Structure 1
Amino acid sequence: MQLNKLLGDDEAVSPVIGVILMVAITVILAAVIGTFVLGLGDQVQDTSPTASFTFDYDQSDGADSFGSGNTAGDGLLTITHDGGDSIEAQNLFITGSSNTASDKVEVAADSSADPQYSGSDELSAGSQVTVRISNSDTVRVVFEASGGDSTSTLGKFEGPNA
C-alpha cells in the first residue's frame, strides 16, 4: 500500500461535509420550531421595559394627576420617567401601601377628573405623574403586560416616615 496515495485521496470529503451541514441545519430548525410549539417563543416576546424613574416628594397643597385634593399628613409625589423604553399608559400602574391600606391606580385611569394620559398614550422620558400620598406610604411603579400575565416593578419610593 502506498502512503502517498492514501494521504492524497480526498474523493469522499465533499459528501461527508454535505451530510454534516444537513444534520446541523436540521437540528437548528428543530430547536427553533420546538421553542414555539412548547410556547417558549411567546415568553421571549413578553419582556418588561427598561425604564428609570425619579421620585420627588413635596408635602404641600394641590391636586394630583387624578383630581385628589390635600388631606392632613398628605403630600404630592411627582414621578418622572427619566429614560429608557417608552411605556403605554394602560400598562403602567402606581401601587401604594401604608400601614392601613393598599392601593393600585392605573396611570390611564378613568376618574371624575380628566386623566392626564389615555390608554394608548406612551410615557417617555420627561413624562410625569403626580399622586397624593401619606408621608408613611411606600409607592411602586409597576409594569403589567397586556393580559396581566406578568408584572415587574420599575421603581420604588418610600415616604419620609415609612
Structure 2
Amino acid sequence: MQFDPLSADDRAVASMLGMTLLLGTAVVGAAVVGAFVLDVGGSQETAPQVIWEWEETPDGLTVQHDGGDTVMPGEVRVVGDVDADLVGTTLDDQSLFGDEPISAGDEAAIDDSRLSGDTGTVALVWTSSDGSQSVVLSEYEYDLR
C-alpha cells in the first residue's frame, strides 16, 4: 500500500474551521444588534459627584458646594429634621440657591428657625429626572446647642 500525498483530504478540516468562525461572528453580530434594538444597556443617569461642606453657624447651617460636578438645583432636595416648609423641597425652592446651576463655591444658609430642633440630621438627595433613582449626596448631623 502506497501513500499518495495528493489524495490526502484536508479540505474537511479547513471548511469546518471556516464554518465555526463564520457562525461565531454571526452570533456576536446578532447579539450586538439585539442589544441596540432592545436598548439593553439603557441610558441611565448618574448622580453628580460633589463635595458638600457643612458648617454650623450661630443662625443655623450653611451648606457649600466645595467641588465636583455642577448640580441642577431642581434635581436635589433637602430632607431630614427641617420644618415642613423645607422638607423635600428642591434646592431652587425657598431661595436656598436660586434656579441657576450650583457649582463650586456656591453656598446657602438654612436658618435655625427652619430646623426642627437643636439636634438632628439634614441630607441632600439627588433624584433622576424620571424619578427612578435617588441617591443621598450628603448627610450632616448637626448639634446647635
Q: Distance in 2 between matches of 1:94 and 1:52?
A: 16
- Deviation per residue, 1:106-151 (Å, 9 max, x gap): 1111x5xx56421xx3212222122123431210011011122211
| Residue number in structure 1 paired with 2:73 | 89
Q: Distance in 2 between matches of 1:18 and 1:58?
A: 74
Structural mapping, 1:92-111, within 5 Å? 92-97=76-81, 103-109=87-93, 111=94
Structural mapping, 1:17-32, within 5 Å? 17=18, 19-20=20-21, 23-24=24-25, 26-27=27-28, 29-30=30-31
| Residue number in structure 2 paired with 1:52 | 51
CA contact (8 A) 2:78 2:91 kept: yes
Per the TM alignment, residue 16 of structure 1 is displaced from its structure 2 partner at its CA by 2.8
Per the TM alignment, residue 53 of structure 1 is displaced from its structure 2 partner at its CA by 0.8
Residues 49 and 2 of structure 1: CA distance in aligned 2, closer, same or farther (over 3 Å): farther
Unmatched tracts of structure 1, length 5 or more = 61-74
| Residue number in structure 1 paired with 2:102 | 123
SS of equivalent residue, structure 1 residue 122: coil
Q: Distance in 2 between matches of 1:78 and 1:20?
A: 63
Cα RMSD for the two superposed structures: 3.5
Please say which structure displays the higher CA radius of gyration.
2
Identical aligned pairs, as a percentage?
Answer: 22
Q: Distance in 2 between matches of 1:36 and 1:125?
A: 40
Unmatched tracts of structure 2, length 5 or more = none
Q: Distance in 2 between matches of 1:144 and 1:32?
A: 31
Residues 54 and 13 of structure 1: CA distance in aligned 2, closer, same or farther (over 3 Å): farther
CA contact (8 A) 2:63 2:108 kept: yes
SS of equivalent residue, structure 1 residue 104: coil
| Residue number in structure 2 paired with 1:150 | 133
SS of equivalent residue, structure 2 residue 41: helix
| Residue number in structure 2 paired with 1:64 | none
Give 1:50's aligned amino acid.
Answer: Q
CA contact (8 A) 2:64 2:108 kept: yes
Give 2:28's aligned amino acid.
Answer: V
